[in-house]
């Protein structure tokens, strides 16, 4: 009885050991894979942002005097030339003030003429000692006082004449009226600040975009970098511009630091308008007709059984494919149980070195190291196969495990 019990226990032990030995192979046989393929194409590295279109140079035109607007000669979208009359203020009050100032000037000029004659006569009489020094000084004082009054009257007349010139609002530049904020008959007050009457855009055939770029991306942006963008009204059209300025003043948007980038845009066809919202792509780098791999294959996480089977292959390939500094770190990682996991087994590779699983010609799972180049959200450029035996366009690569039911 005791002997038979021992035999039974031995058989059970062998079965358990055999189960755990065979289980990974059974799991490998049960699983099937989904694949992606290597293809040739073009790829770009980009930084995305949003911005607003603006005229390169805009001028706000206002008035320096208070009063009523009597006439407006331009409207929205009108083309204007430098010096062209835009509007006129009511001049009646100023004209009345001018007449009063001119009358005061005439009185002071008459007084000045009389005082001057008296002073010149007394100057001669004083030299001949006909009059006293006090009489001479009095006439001199009266002359200087009247002279000052005459100059003040002249300044008053000049001041009103200048104000009357301000009543004729003229364009300071050649451009287009993009905003008009006043109407005929409206009263404007210039006591504390110049009222804005018009905004003139100098040249709408050349515009600029003010784009907000996140602090994590601003280091990639360079002067003269090409920018592709679209606007909501023409979503199918791609427009292009060039970076002309990176402003160093930080701007906080929702507690995120941004920097403003200025992009110059050609608008000869007139499709773009001031104030339009733009979706921009700063083109950091471009590669044409290169081998591309879907990023899902590079992110693929093998199961424990695959890791166990591929470990000897990784050790062997690492010896002659990776340089010394990379090889040492990688071997240490794959020989450590804590780091040799589906999520971490490639974590010790530098950013430009990666790898993927595929099936060789015999149907056996293999692993290939590659050097990557430009990476986008979906694909990466294969710059080099480290084992010098490249896969071809259309070859299948494992990107997920599909369990059989």
- pLDDT at res. 237: 94
What is the 3 state secondary structure string of 66-98?
Answer: CEEEEEECCCCCCEECCCCEEEEECCHHHHHHH
Q: How far apart are CA 235 and CA 351, in angstroms?
A: 35
Contacts of 212 (CB under 8 A, 6+ apart): 49, 50, 51, 251, 253, 258, 259, 260, 261
Strands 67-72 and 187-188: antiparallel
Q: How far apart are CA 24 and CA 15, in angstroms?
A: 15
- pLDDT at res. 211: 95
- pLDDT at res. 212: 94
- pLDDT at res. 391: 81
Residue whose C-alpha is closest to residue 57's, from 195, 200, 233:
200
pLDDT tens profile 20-38: 444 444 444 556 889 999 9
Phi/psi at 50 (nearest 5 deg)? -125, 155
Phi/psi at 29 (nearest 5 deg)? -70, -35
Farthest-apart Cα atoms in the chain, separation: 167
Phi/psi at 124 (nearest 5 deg)? -70, -45
Name residues of the chain where pLDDT drops below 50: 19-28
- pLDDT at res. 232: 93
Contacts of 208 (CB under 8 A, 6+ apart): 53, 54, 55, 56, 244, 262, 263, 264, 265
pLDDT tens profile 132-176: 888 888 888 988 898 999 999 999 999 988 888 888 889 998 989
Residue whose C-alpha is closest to residue 218's, from 254, 279, 253, 260:
260
pLDDT tens profile 98-115: 899 999 999 989 998 988
């Amino acid at each position: 009885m005791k002997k038979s019990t021992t035999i039974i226990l031995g058989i059970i032990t062998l079965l358990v050991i055999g189960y755990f030995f065979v289980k990974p192979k059974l799991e490998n046989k049960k699983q099937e894979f989904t694949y992606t393929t290597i293809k040739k194409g073009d790829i770009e590295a980009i930084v995305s942002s949003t911005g607003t279109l603006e005229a390169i140079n805009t001028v706000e035109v206002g008035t320096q005097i208070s009063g009523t607007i009597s006439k407006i000669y331009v409207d929205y979208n009108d083309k204007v030339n430098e010096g062209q009359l835009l509007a006129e203020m009511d001049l009646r009050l100023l004209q009345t003030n001018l007449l009063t100032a001119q009358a005061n000037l005439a009185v002071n000029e008459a007084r000045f003429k009389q005082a001057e004659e008296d002073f010149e006569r007394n100057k001669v009489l004083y030299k001949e000692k006909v009059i006293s020094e006090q009489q001479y000084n009095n006439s001199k004082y009266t002359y200087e006082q009247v002279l000052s009054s005459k100059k003040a009257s002249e300044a008053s007349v000049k001041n009103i004449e200048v104000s009357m010139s301000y009543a004729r609002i003229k364009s300071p530049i050649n451009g287009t009226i993009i905003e008009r904020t006043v109407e005929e008959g409206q009263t404007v007050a210039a006591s504390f600040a110049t009222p804005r009457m018009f905004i003139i855009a100098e040249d709408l055939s050349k515009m600029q975009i003010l784009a907000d770029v996140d602090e994590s991306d601003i280091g990639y942006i360079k002067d003269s970098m090409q920018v592709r963008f679209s606007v909501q009204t023409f979503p199918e059209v791609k427009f292009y511009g060039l970076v002309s300025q990176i402003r160093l003043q930080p701007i906080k948007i929702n507690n995120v630091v941004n920097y403003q980038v200025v992009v110059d845009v050609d608008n000869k066809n007139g499709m773009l308008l001031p104030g339009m919202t733009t979706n921009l792509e700063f083109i950091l780098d471009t590669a044409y007709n290169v081998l591309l791999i879907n990023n899902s294959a590079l992110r693929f996480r093998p199961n424990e059984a695959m890791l166990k089977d591929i470990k000897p292959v990784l050790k062997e390939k690492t010896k002659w494919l990776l340089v010394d500094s990379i090889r040492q770190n990688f071997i240490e990682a794959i020989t450590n149980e804590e780091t040799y996991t589906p999520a971490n087994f490639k974590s010790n590779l530098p950013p430009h070195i990666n790898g993927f699983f595929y099936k060789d010609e015999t149907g056996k799972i293999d692993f290939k190291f590659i050097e990557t180049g430009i990476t986008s959200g979906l694909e990466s450029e294969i710059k080099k196969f480290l084992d010098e035996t490249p896969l071809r366009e259309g070859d299948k690569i494992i990107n997920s495990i599909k369990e059989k039911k």
